[in-house]
Chain A
Amino acid sequence: MSAPDWTLEALAEAIRAKAVSPVEAAQECLERIGRLDGRLRAFITVDAEGALRTAKECEADASAGRWRGALHGVPLAYKDLCHIRGLPTSCGTKTSEYFFAEHDCTAVARLSAAGAITLGKLNMTELAMGPFGDNFHHGHARNPWQDGHVTGGSSSGSAVAVAAGLALGALGSDTGGSIRLPAACCGIVGLKPTYGRVSRAGVMPLSWSNDHVGPMARTVRDAALMLQAIAGHDPRDATSSRRPVPDYLAGIEAGVTGLRVAMPENFFFRGLHPEMEAGVREAARLMEKLGARVVEMAIPDPQVMNDVATIVSRCEGTAAHARLARERPEQVQPVVRARLELGFRISAYDYLQALRLRARLTRAFLREVFAEADVLVAPVIPELAPPLAHAIEGTVEALTERQGRFARLTRSFNGLGLPVLALPCGLSRGGLPLALQIAGRPFDEATVLRVGRAYERAAGWSGRRPPLD
């Protein structure tokens, strides 16, 4: 077995059984990066030297019977907004050292403590602002399923690296859909955890109220393994929750018998591409066959929370990056600059009202939806991954509107702070990934993963690989 076939879990087991060495695993990933990344553009920084050094240390530890953790010797890579000492953090901007933190990003530090090897830093949309995965400074990430189509963003490189077998897993961040959109476009699994479940310390902020850090992987079990390592309170992130972290793999194979799965009647299926709609509805039918009780349900209008979350994001994004917007605006892509400019024009009154309204809407949503359902199933993207050239053409106004439409199914869940898993549900006739998202109760990642795993096991989509080799 080689890198394109490994799952994170299978590789970790093979390393533990000494069937594969950490150095072999790292070398294989680096070889694939060297061979494929010139065209895929998943990485901004490859740290071959550091990866091999850590791999050798892991190998020595393994020989001595010292196991660092569940991810011992597994090569991972991280979105280039995670601060890692010794490596630059561009955040997708023209400035190679745009973001600096006092400490390593907590999520990366926890994965490293569990034994993971850092391959490097991954491409992303500039300042994590934009859902298509384009980047004029570092090159547009390329969709491994069909070159010329968008990868989704902003965690574009994370999705491409995982889909192409360049890394076994990756970290992304999600402020309006930035983990789920690229996962959907690239046919992989992405989890936006509950707000507060994973520390954002050491990660470039875009919107403190809406930012989430989460795993991107090939399978639901792999995402659960990564979440296990990164979840939990962090004194360096005041918003991180003190709620105990459960064992995410313990009940993951329990199936869906008796669980109530809600399909929203309103909003999510309006104007959807027919193949996307068919894929998601077929997935729900399969869940029903597996024993779930699937019901259609009218949910509180997600567009209201979309607008609230957008107001908050625009203000906080501008506050976080005001210096760049004011002092070096010419270095920023026009559409990103327009978003930053908008934040300067929203009053403190409107920002605070949006935050207050968010709390009200969240309480209402939780009360109305989760009294009747255990999870909510919906599409992630309203259309198939569009051609990149078309997605990024036109005026700033046209592009802004197109971006808003593309991310309209994901953003409300950032406002709500709920755990949401995106996973593949087939391929279109033309070979582009279809995807669904499963949202659950706050801090109930375990049920979301359990439903995703039951579907994944029955549907078998996670075994498919893009045609690269």
Chain B
Amino acid sequence: MSQEPTQPPSRATSQQIELANLLGVIERAGDLALSEEPSRFAAALDDAAEAAAEESER
């Protein structure tokens, strides 16, 4: 039985695969609490810096 030669995926298909791989991270993370808003990122940096400063003063 002869086999069809494997064609490289088209640009659109490659992008779909790339996107699916990338977005998997969102699905795997599951539910996020309502309080988990984007601005908590900058607050996380500030809180950590503040905590480190307090620790070094002790």
| A interface residues, Cβ below 8 angstroms from B | 194-196, 209, 239, 241, 243, 304, 307-308, 310-311, 314, 338, 341-342, 345-346, 350, 352-360, 362-363, 366, 370, 395-397, 400, 417, 441-444
Q: Which residues on the B side are within 8 Å of A308 (C-beta)?
A: 25
**Distance to closest chain A CB from B24 (angstroms):** 8
Q: Which residues on the B side are within 8 Å of A314 (C-beta)?
A: 22
Docked pose: A362 CA to B47 CA in angstroms: 11
**Distance to closest chain B CB from A376 (angstroms):** 14
Docked pose: A370 CA to B50 CA in angstroms: 13
Identify A443's interface contact among B25, B26, B49, CB under 8 A.
Answer: B49
A354 touches B41 (CB 8 A): no
Docked pose: A345 CA to B17 CA in angstroms: 12
Chain B, residue nearest A194 (CB): B45
B22 touches A359 (CB 8 A): no
Q: Which residues on the B side are within 8 Å of A397 (C-beta)?
A: 8-9, 11, 14
**Distance to closest chain B CB from A342 (angstroms):** 6
Q: Is the interface of A mostly helix, strand, loop or mixed?
A: helix
A357 touches B32 (CB 8 A): yes
Docked pose: A363 CA to B34 CA in angstroms: 16
A196 touches B19 (CB 8 A): no
Identify B26's interface contact among A209, A354, A359, CB under 8 A.
Answer: A354
Q: Which residues on the A side are within 8 Å of B52 (C-beta)?
A: 370, 441, 444
Identify B25's interface contact among A304, A370, A396, A417, CB under 8 A.
Answer: A304
B42 touches A196 (CB 8 A): yes
Chain B, residue nearest A242 (CB): B46
A307 touches B22 (CB 8 A): yes
**Distance to closest chain B CB from A445 (angstroms):** 11
**Distance to closest chain B CB from A322 (angstroms):** 17
B 1-29 to A, binary, CB cutoff 8 A, 1 in contact else 0: 00000001101001100110111111001
Chain A, residue nearest B29 (CB): A357
Docked pose: A443 CA to B50 CA in angstroms: 9
Q: Is the interface of B mostly helix, strand, loop or mixed?
A: helix
Docked pose: A249 CA to B23 CA in angstroms: 43
Q: Which 6 A-B pairs have the closest CB atoms?
A: A355-B38, A359-B40, A442-B45, A307-B25, A359-B41, A443-B49
**Distance to closest chain A CB from B20 (angstroms):** 11
> Which of B9, B22, B46: most chain A Cβ within 10 A?
B22
Q: Which residues on the B side are within 8 Å of A243 (C-beta)?
A: 46, 49
**Distance to closest chain A CB from B21 (angstroms):** 8
Q: A307-B25, A357-B26 are in contact. Are A395 and B8 (CB under 8 A)?
A: yes
Q: Which residues on the A side are within 8 Å of B19 (C-beta)?
A: 342, 345-346
**Distance to closest chain A CB from B22 (angstroms):** 5
Chain B, residue nearest A305 (CB): B25
Please list 25 pairs of residues, one from A and one from B, whose beta carbons are closer than 8 Å in the complex, sorted by A's number.
A195-B45, A196-B42, A196-B45, A304-B25, A308-B25, A311-B22, A342-B15, A346-B19, A353-B29, A353-B32, A356-B32, A357-B36, A358-B41, A359-B36, A359-B44, A360-B40, A363-B44, A370-B48, A397-B8, A397-B11, A442-B44, A442-B46, A442-B48, A442-B49, A443-B49
B37 on interface, CB distance cutoff 8 Å: yes
Docked pose: A310 CA to B18 CA in angstroms: 11
A350 touches B44 (CB 8 A): no
**Distance to closest chain B CB from A414 (angstroms):** 12
B25 touches A311 (CB 8 A): yes
Q: Which residues on the B side are within 8 Å of A353 (C-beta)?
A: 26, 29, 32
Q: A241-B46, A442-B45 are in contact. Are A338 and B15 (CB under 8 A)?
A: yes
Q: Which residues on the B side are within 8 Å of A355 (C-beta)?
A: 38, 41
Q: A342-B15, A357-B25 are in contact. Are A362 and B41 (CB under 8 A)?
A: yes
Q: Which residues on the A side are within 8 Å of B41 (C-beta)?
A: 209, 355, 358-359, 362, 417
> Which of B23, B37, B39, B43: most chain A Cβ within 10 A?
B23
Identify B38's interface contact among A304, A311, A356, A442, CB under 8 A.
Answer: A356
**Distance to closest chain A CB from B32 (angstroms):** 5
A195 touches B22 (CB 8 A): no
**Distance to closest chain A CB from B45 (angstroms):** 4
Identify B45's interface contact among A341, A352, A362, A395, CB under 8 A.
Answer: A362
B36 touches A356 (CB 8 A): yes
Q: Which residues on the B side are within 8 Å of A417 (C-beta)?
A: 41-42, 45
A346 touches B25 (CB 8 A): no
Q: Which residues on the B side are within 8 Å of A366 (C-beta)?
A: 44, 48
Q: A338-B15, A400-B18, A442-B46 are in contact. Are A358 and B38 (CB under 8 A)?
A: yes
